[in-house]
Amino acid sequence: MISYNEMATEDFVVQGFRAAAVNSGIRGKDRLDLAMIVSDMPAVVAGVFTTSLVKAAPVLLDMERCRTGRAQAILVNSGLANACTGEEGMRLARLTTAMAADALNIAPELVQVCSTGVIGQQLELACFQRGIPRAAQALAADGLAEVASAIMTTDTVRKIAARTVLIDGKPIKLLGMAKGAGMIMPNMATMLSFILTDAKIGHDLLQSLLRKVVIKTFNAITVDGDTSTNDTVLVLANGLAEHLPLTEDRPEALSAFAAALEDLCQELALMIVKDGEGATKLVTIRVQGAASEAQADQAARAVANSNLVKTAFFGEDANWGRIIAALGRSGAQFDQHQVDIAFDEVLMVKNGLGQSAEVEARATAVLKKPEFVVTIDLHAGEGYKEIYTCDFSLDYVKINADYRS
Amino acid sequence: MISYNEMATEDFVVQGFRAAAVNSGIRGKDRLDLAMIVSDMPAVVAGVFTTSLVKAAPVLLDMERCRTGRAQAILVNSGLANACTGEEGMRLARLTTAMAADALNIAPELVQVCSTGVIGQQLELACFQRGIPRAAQALAADGLAEVASAIMTTDTVRKIAARTVLIDGKPIKLLGMAKGAGMIMPNMATMLSFILTDAKIGHDLLQSLLRKVVIKTFNAITVDGDTSTNDTVLVLANGLAEHLPLTEDRPEALSAFAAALEDLCQELALMIVKDGEGATKLVTIRVQGAASEAQADQAARAVANSNLVKTAFFGEDANWGRIIAALGRSGAQFDQHQVDIAFDEVLMVKNGLGQSAEVEARATAVLKKPEFVVTIDLHAGEGYKEIYTCDFSLDYVKINADYRS
């Protein structure tokens, strides 16, 4: 694994991709707020989008274009979400991609577009008229890291990571970036992630891989239980690496690539949780022994999203009563007299009963750590799920209540 | 309506009921922590209990006894929840009701028992041995208000209210009390309510009335979305009022009684929301035009429980983007281009689009009020639901994170 801190500048590069970020005026005069990522040739695209019924205009447009299986550029802005903007919002989403296509001399259908920021306000066309040509001119192979900066909103750290995997003795590069920190000031909880690779792979296969990977990674994190209108994960694969194409006939090569993709997405997803608004701790909620995987998911999410559990984590209190109360209302089926709960390796609850004060003291010591695992065994079957969450601090309320005051 | 502040001492009395509260040592040496309510004769009982799979020992015992249709006493303690206490907890629940029955010279099966407080610790029998005989001796017609005090935990106000309804020209009295303020320190979000009446009514009818009323009142409030292991609403009806029995053959009389019961429960339920931990505002989330009542309920609860919506209320920000984002993930079906949202009478969103800055200024003025209504019209059908919630302040986190520090 190459983590962000260890990455040298050359790690931010993938052959055949160029990028640039500029200030276009959407967010004042200084911040990077508009960016483009461009492949030298049409690439295979795969995308996973918000499950919310309320989808932003760029999401609707990307979903439509993703079905063609090809894309060559991503246009992204921060500051405005272009969500709840009606027909005018759709018109502007199409128009801005046409402007980008024009500047890049490619077909508009090959441009994906993402927005993040305030819901309900229309994009200002002038910013795109100003920003797009400048971004197109500035495109450079080493520009990807700047895109990761341009998409930050309440994020406190830039989220970028890379993997290299050898297939047929040839290196395949995967570079990923993400944004998201809970609720993005002032209106949105958007998570965006772009993954660029030189792998050779078809659209259907990449799409099905991405779906599976997202379930285990980006869809297994929660900061505040809210889903955004703009959540988007896009993968562009330009096929420049020298390996033989990845196909279902080559399960070993495919699973090596899938593992690298999952590992990369997992690193980005955990970066988001750690940077959760006001978060001070990264907590893994691991449910095992559920009656089904779906019930493991229900149980883990109920615990991971409980304000009472999350405030107890913030208070460094091994408050297992709140965990068992969340399990009880989760909808998962189990016998309360068979539940075990451990904080890291400290078994705090056995058969639904709390253990000694000495055990609780050791559990409390675990909660003082910046990262720990809560393992819940329901003893009701084989269902297993891990969900990644953070604690719930005073700063979360401050960030989300005070921004206009 | 007689509200708490207007009530004279005689309003805390219902003929045929006596009560007392004492300090038994469960919560130190000074606080009232053990109470009994006793009817002079066996009364008709109805009960509604937590939907959590994890049910406290007293809840399991009450559910069993409630089916007999008769009860003569309620024994209640605060400080310990007797939840997640296994077989020993069940034994202690039975034993303490037997002790109360003994002191009152009635059958143990006629005693209901409620506990609220810390999960996972066993009751101390010595406290009950000390407290029960003293409470039995202190029983008095004017002791009911003290019970309302004894069941308070993180509550900041005592919750008690009354109604009188004339049926057949005769007055029927209903006196209700409740506790609950979000999460009860240190582990529980318990809501308890006891309603005493001299009405003449059968068990099955009272039980079915209570179920309907609870759906609209106690089950329509939310402070933090967590359900307790101990939630209990009990009604005791001793039949001493002089009206003819309430039966399904007399729909007019029955609906007058039902209306009084609902009105009383509504007042108590709203007292709980207003006293929600850290709450500064009481907000009604009204969803209309949903595809079904179930979808109206889903939509209203998603908004009422969204931390992002609730922190915006605290920040007095007419942040409709967060509301529409919560609606989008609620599971309710609607066309995002047909959604209207009003803050009191100010229509902030029309057909999914925000209105002018002038309208937003008026909406912001609404949010500065201590109580307001958010009306959401999904234009998808006839489904209707109101859910009552509070805002989410810094104090909520402080209360729930700091209690052991």
Q: What is the pLDDT, as a whole number, of residue B92?
A: 97
Residues B142-167: what's their mean pLDDT? 90
- Tell me the C-alpha distance between B36 and B229, whole Å: 21
Q: How many residues does chain A have?
A: 405
Is B190 a catalytic site residue? yes
Closest Cα in chain A, distance from residue B163 (Å)? 33
Please check whether residues B241 and B105 belong to one and the same domain.
yes
Please tell me which residue of chain A has the smallest CA distance to B321: A119
Q: Provide, as residue numbers in chain A, all residues whose Cβ is less than 8 Å from the Cβ of B183.
A: 308, 322
More confident site: A6 or A158: A158
Residue A9: CB atoms within 10 Å: 8
**Nearest Cα to Cα of residue B223 among B184, B197, B173, B187:** B184
Q: Provide, as residue numbers in chain A, all residues whose Cβ is less than 8 Å from the Cβ of B333.
A: 53
Q: How confident is the model at residue A394 (pLDDT cuts 50, 70, 90)?
A: confident
Please check whether residues B215 and B68 belong to one and the same domain.
yes
Q: What is the pLDDT, as a whole number, of residue A191?
A: 82
Which of A274, A299, A323 is the C-terminal boundary of a domain?
A274
Residues B154-181: what's their mean pLDDT? 90
- Coil vs helix vs strand at A244: coil
Report the DSSP pairing between strands A34-49 and A17-22.
antiparallel
Cis peptide before A251 (omega within 30 of 0): no
Query: With 80 as the cut, is the pLDDT of residue A153 above it?
Result: no
- Tell me the C-alpha distance between A21 and A135, whole Å: 6
B338 vs A: CB within 8 A = no
Q: How confident is the model at residue A404 (pLDDT cuts 50, 70, 90)?
A: very low
Query: With 60 as the cut, is the pLDDT of residue A7 above it?
Result: no
Please check whether residues B9 and B146 belong to one and the same domain.
yes
Directed axis angle between helix B293-305 and helix B307-314, to 10°? 60
Which CATH number covers residue B270?
3.60.70.12
- Tell me the C-alpha distance between B191 and B188, whole Å: 9
Please check whether residues B266 and B334 belong to one and the same domain.
no
Please tell me which residue of chain B has the smallest CA distance to A88: B353
Please check whether residues B178 and B259 belong to one and the same domain.
yes
Please check whether residues B350 and B242 belong to one and the same domain.
no
Beta strands in B140-259 (DSSP E): 159-167, 170-179, 192-197, 221-222, 232-237
Which of B223, B242, B274 is the C-terminal boundary of a domain?
B274
A106 vs B: CB within 8 A = no
Contact, B183 vs A308, CB < 8 A?
Answer: yes
> Which H or E run contains A91?
helix A86-104
CA distances from A72 to A49, A107, A115 (A): 18, 9, 18
For the purposes of burial, counting CB atoms within 10 Å of the CB of A370, is it exposed (0-12), middle (13-18) or buried (19 or more)? Answer: exposed
Please check whether residues A240 and A297 belong to one and the same domain.
no
Q: What is the pLDDT, as a whole number, of residue A190?
A: 66
- Tell me the C-alpha distance between A393 and A373, whole Å: 19
User: A with B: how many residue pairs have Cβ under 8 Å apart?
Assistant: 215
* Residue A343, token pair as written in the block: 């904080």
Which of the following is catalytic: B50, B153, B154, B190? Answer: B190
Residues A39-51: what's their mean pLDDT? 94
Asked if A321's CB is within 8 angstroms of B120's CB, the reply is yes
Place of tokens 């801005």: A96
Segments forming the whole domain that contains residue B314? 282-401
Number of domains in chain B: 2
Please check whether residues B307 and B206 belong to one and the same domain.
no
Residues of chain B above pLDDT 70, percent: 92
Q: What is the pLDDT, as a whole number, of residue B273?
A: 84
Express the helix, strand and coil content of chain B in percent, nearest 5 each: 40, 30, 35
More confident site: B119 or B129: B129
Chain A interface test: which of B80, B311, B389 (most A C-beta within 10 Å): B311
* Residue A227, token pair as written in the block: 């889903």
B51 conformational bin, left if phi > 0, alpha if psi -120 to 50, beta if neither: alpha
Which CATH number covers residue B338?
3.10.20.340
Please check whether residues A323 and A254 belong to one and the same domain.
no
> Using the 8-state DSSP alphabet, how is residue B123 labeled?
P
Q: What is the pLDDT, as a whole number, of residue B75?
A: 98
Which alpha helices (H) appear in B229-318, and where do they start and end? Answer: 251-274, 293-305, 307-314
Lowest mean pLDDT among A43-57, A377-391, B270-284: B270-284
Q: Provide, as residue numbers in chain B, all residues whose Cβ is less than 8 Å from the Cβ of A229.
A: 324-325, 328
Please check whether residues B335 and B231 belong to one and the same domain.
no
Restricting to B residues 4-63, those with a Cβ less than 8 Å away from any Cβ of A are: 51-55
Q: How confident is the model at residue B250 (pLDDT cuts 50, 70, 90)?
A: very high
Q: Provide, as residue numbers in chain A, all residues whose Cβ is less than 8 Å from the Cβ of B57.
A: none
Please check whether residues A154 and A30 belong to one and the same domain.
yes
Contact, B360 vs B354, CB < 8 A?
Answer: yes
Which of A274, A302, A321 is the C-terminal boundary of a domain?
A274
pLDDT digits (tens, 9 = 90+) for B338-381: 999 999 999 999 999 999 999 999 999 999 999 999 999 999 99
pLDDT digits (tens, 9 = 90+) for B290-331: 999 999 999 999 999 888 898 889 989 888 988 998 898 899
Please check whether residues B269 and B288 belong to one and the same domain.
no
Q: Provide, as residue numbers in chain A, all residues whose Cβ is less than 8 Å from the Cβ of B181.
A: none
Of A83, A183, A351, the CB nearest to B308: A183
Place of tokens 């010591």: A365
Contact, A197 vs A173, CB < 8 A?
Answer: yes
Asked if B327's CB is within 8 angstroms of A53's CB, the reply is yes
Closest Cα in chain A, distance from residue B346 (Å)? 17
Query: Which are the contacts of A282, defined by CB distance < 8 A and separation ≥ 6?
Result: A270, A273, A274, A370, A371, A388, A390
pLDDT digits (tens, 9 = 90+) for A315-335: 898 889 889 988 988 999 999
Chain B interface test: which of A51, A59, A82, A84 (most B C-beta within 10 Å): A84
Q: What is the pLDDT, as a whole number, of residue B65?
A: 97
- Tell me the C-alpha distance between A28 and A17, whole Å: 28
